Structure 1
Amino acid sequence: MENASKNAHVQASASKTIAGVYGWMSFGVLISALMGLVLVQTQIIQALGNFYYGVIIAQLGVVLVMSFAAEKMSAAALKGMFLFYAVLTGFTFAILMLIYPIGNFIALFAMAAMGFAALAVFGAVTKKNLGFMRTFLIMGVFMILGANIVNIFIHSPILRSFTGWAGILVFSGLTAYDSQRIREGAYELALHDAGDTQAIRKFMIFGALTMYLNFINLFISLLKVFGGNRD
């Protein structure tokens, strides 16, 4: 009876943590989308276009700070940085809204959301250990990053299509893999650190950032392949 009660408590605590991860992730996506709409509708994006690479560097900086300085930061500070990152990504959303037909943008956003949800559920419920994919997925991320950097200079449609298809595969795999890691981490916290609210809050934010990045990159990859171009 006591074991059953403990298991139920662990299950409830882990489920609450997982819900927090996806709640923050969804909130971040919402902020980015709304910021993108504001920038496009007010035409501010045209004035800020010259700062595109500066925003990209700022985004990378925020992720690096969150990754390497987390131990010294409070959960509240991490939440603030996550929300700041979501605002910065709104700039990227605005650029994409200008590049691709809005109908395609909305349709592919919905497709990315449905695919992401299905992959996240699969990763959370499957009994198969997805850890075997880790090395290949990390290699894939670096390959896509390198190809994107090269394509900044050569503007190759073939390379662009390649990074799109590769991104769909890699970030689909990462979504399932990271979903499984989040489930396992949430249960580990529920078993050993249930009273450490700082640790749980930090876990939620890092999990949210991880899944947020997977979703955004999956969406951008779909746009590269199926988005078309404005006339």
Structure 2
Amino acid sequence: MNRFQNNNSNWMENAGKNSLAQANASKLISGVYGWMSFGVLLSAIVGVGIVQTNTLNYLLKMGSGFIFAIFLMQVALVMVMSFAANKLSASALKALFLVYAAVTGFTFAIIMNVYPIGNVISIFFIAAMGFAALAIFGAVTKKNLGFMRTFLYMGLFMIIGAGILNIFMHSPILRSFTGWAGILVFSGLTAYDSQRIREGALEISYQSAGNRQEIGKFMIYGALTMYLNFINLFISLLQIFGGRKD
């Protein structure tokens, strides 16, 4: 009888811990997408502000060097957040993420200058709906999506290489390739990373439930990952369906 009572007590205790971990994981995932959404909103606000104040025309007169500098700044910020995360505090990561989102606002401004605004808005919402569906799929599916990892990263490197090459070639064929490949790769990465975030949220809820620094870093790194997936999916769709201004 005592053994039965002890087993029952242990089962209830474990069930309570699992329930609490699940609840904490849900809060973490909500935090990831909350920060990601705020980052996209900040980029859009900065982009609209640059266009509305005619700042973009002034900046473009500075030549392609300015655009290249913005690109390098974005890459540098992502590298710092990715590889120096362990050395930075959660607050520093949050600040860097917001700076990155604001800098990406210049990219939004350039997009609004290249494509008709109606097309930009329509494709933005299409990208948002597709992204949400893929993220939900990745979070709820029982199938391990890890098998896609190698192919997705190979595709990502191919897109980066083709994009850099096309800076000099200005080839419509390469632009079309990077667009279609980007849709496939970033759709896959959205589902794959969503599953990783779900698993990571559960793990950190069990192991570091009271560690605010680890929780904060996890949210920002997850937000950055999904932000990059969404923005690149949006840009890939624009490349194919955006219809550039004449």
TM-score category of the 2 structures, normalised to the smaller one: over 0.9
How far apart are the structure 1 equivalents of 2:89 and 2:59?
32
Partner of 1:175 in structure 2?
Answer: 190
How far apart are the structure 1 equivalents of 2:96 and 2:51?
24
Range with bigger deviation, 64-73 or 22-31: 64-73
Partner of 2:215 in structure 1?
Answer: 200
Please state if 1:39 is matched with 2:50: yes
Q: Aligned runs of 1:216-227 on 2, under 5 Å?
A: 216-227=231-242
Partner of 1:58 in structure 2?
Answer: 73
Partner of 2:9 in structure 1?
Answer: none
Cα deviation for residue 211 of structure 1 reads 0.1
Unaligned runs of 5+ in 1: none
Cα deviation for residue 104 of structure 1 reads 0.5
Partner of 1:24 in structure 2?
Answer: 35
How far apart are the structure 2 equivalents of 1:121 and 1:164?
23
Cα deviation for residue 202 of structure 1 reads 0.0
Alignment equivalent of 1:156, drawn from 144, 164, 171: 171
Cα deviation for residue 72 of structure 1 reads 1.2
How far apart are the structure 1 equivalents of 2:171 and 2:84?
37
Q: Which has more radius of gyration?
A: 2
Cα deviation for residue 195 of structure 1 reads 1.1
Q: Deviations over 1:18-71 (max 9, x none)?
A: 000000000000000000000000010111223111010000000111111111
Q: Deviations over 1:144-192 (max 9, x none)?
A: 0000011111111111011000000000000000000000000000111
Range with bigger deviation, 3-12 or 216-225: 3-12
Aligned residues: 231
SS of 2:244 mapped into structure 1: coil
User: Identity, % of aligned pairs?
Assistant: 70
Q: Which amino acid is the alignment partner of residue 212 of structure 2?
A: T
How far apart are the structure 1 equivalents of 2:218 and 2:35?
11
How far apart are the structure 2 equivalents of 1:44 and 1:220?
22
Alignment equivalent of 2:25, drawn from 8, 14, 17: 14
Alignment equivalent of 1:109, drawn from 112, 117, 124: 124
C-alpha RMSD of the superposition: 0.7
Q: Which amino acid is the alignment partner of residue 105 of structure 1?
A: V
Give the alignment's TM-score, normalised by structure 1: 0.99
Q: Deviations over 1:109-160 (max 9, x none)?
A: 0000000000000000000000000000001110000000111111111110
Give the alignment's TM-score, normalised by structure 2: 0.93
Q: Once superposed, which parts of structure 1, at least 4 consecutive aligned residues long, lie more than 2 Å away?
A: none
Q: Which amino acid is the alignment partner of residue 47 of structure 1?
A: Y
SS of 1:128 mapped into structure 2: coil
Cα deviation for residue 220 of structure 1 reads 0.2
SS of 1:229 mapped into structure 2: coil
Unaligned runs of 5+ in 2: 1-11
Q: Which amino acid is the alignment partner of residue 192 of structure 2?
A: Y
SS of 1:5 mapped into structure 2: helix
Q: Aligned runs of 1:62-81 on 2, under 5 Å?
A: 62-81=77-96
How far apart are the structure 2 equivalents of 1:120 and 1:228?
27
Partner of 2:243 in structure 1?
Answer: 228
How far apart are the structure 2 equivalents of 1:142 and 1:48?
30
Q: Which amino acid is the alignment partner of residue 125 of structure 1?
A: V
Cα deviation for residue 4 of structure 1 reads 2.1
How far apart are the structure 1 equivalents of 2:177 and 2:87?
40
SS of 2:143 mapped into structure 1: coil
